[in-house]
Amino acid sequence: MLRFMPVGDSMTIGSAGEHTWRYRLWQHLCAEYGGPFTLVGPRETLHDPRTDSPTSYAYADPDFPRGHLAGWGEGWHHMVPLIGETVRTLRADVLLVSLGLIDLGFYTNPEQTADNVRAFVAAARAADRRVRLVLLPVIPNIRAEVDPGFAAQIARFNDLLAKTAVDLDTPDSPVLLAALPPEYDIHTDTYDGTHPNASGEHRIAEAFAEALYRGWELGGPYRAA
């Protein structure tokens, strides 16, 4: 069984009442991937903005595997110490990673963030030398629209991420760089300028699905369920 693990920040964990892009991607893979698979991770909760804490939530499909490694306000540098043991324990085959916005906004500059990407990949490979990774560039949010300096930081990191993905790609442990979600618009695909609404969830799921299909022939072209 192929084991996918979503890794990310608030855009990946999602808030109470959301489906999340993880759910949309699972629906897609159920329809398009011919082999057995699941989503894994040490966490299963969403984030409850009313209490600013994790919470359980009943998805529309009770069969949805809710495992992930994502957290509200967490970035690359939060995940570096966690990823090795998580990959080892849960035997994750493919890491679907959406990180960086929090890092650039609060913790590290583009170069430091790229260094943390390398540390993350090294730790994952120390746990499993054949682990595969799909990395999503940072999607600019509402702050980037009003803060040119922050927008430049995102553009710089995304350029470094592309180069890092090429540098780290190996035959045994391939690294794919997903494309930014096509036609993503923070005014129509988010509910607050950052976090995806239903259409945004589909666009992020599509970005991962297309990378998996074009890079490794896993699944098929994305069709919103």
**What is the Cα–Cα distance from 223 to 2, expressed in whole angstroms?**
21
Residue 77 resides in a domain: yes
Q: What is the pLDDT of residues 100-110, one digit of tens each?
A: 999 999 999 99
Tokens of 202: 């589909």
**H helix runs in the chain, sequence order:** 10-13, 21-32, 76-90, 101-102, 110-127, 142-146, 148-168, 198-216
In this predicted structure, the answer to whether residue 168 has a pLDDT above a threshold of 90 is yes
In this predicted structure, the answer to whether residue 174 has a pLDDT above a threshold of 80 is yes
DSSP bridge partners of 39: 4
Residue 86 resides in a domain: yes
Residue 223 resides in a domain: no
Residue 224 resides in a domain: no
Residue 225 resides in a domain: no
Residue 157 resides in a domain: yes
What's the whole-number mean pLDDT along residues 152-177? Answer: 98
DSSP bridge partners of 96: 6, 134
Q: What is the pLDDT of residues 32-54, one digit of tens each?
A: 998 999 999 999 988 777 776 77
Residue 207 resides in a domain: yes
In this predicted structure, the answer to whether residue 16 has a pLDDT above a threshold of 80 is no
Number of domains in the chain: 1
Residue 90 resides in a domain: yes
Provide the pLDDT for residue 85.
98
Burial class (CB in 10 A: 0-12, 13-18, 19+), 5: buried
CATH of the domain at 85: 3.40.50.1110
Q: How far is CA 102 from CA 84, 110, 125, in A?
A: 21, 12, 24
What is the rounded radius of gyration, in angstroms, for the C-alpha atoms of the chain?
16
Q: What is the pLDDT of residues 200-222, one digit of tens each?
A: 999 999 999 999 999 999 999 99
Structural domain range at position 22: 2-216
Provide the pLDDT for residue 76.
98
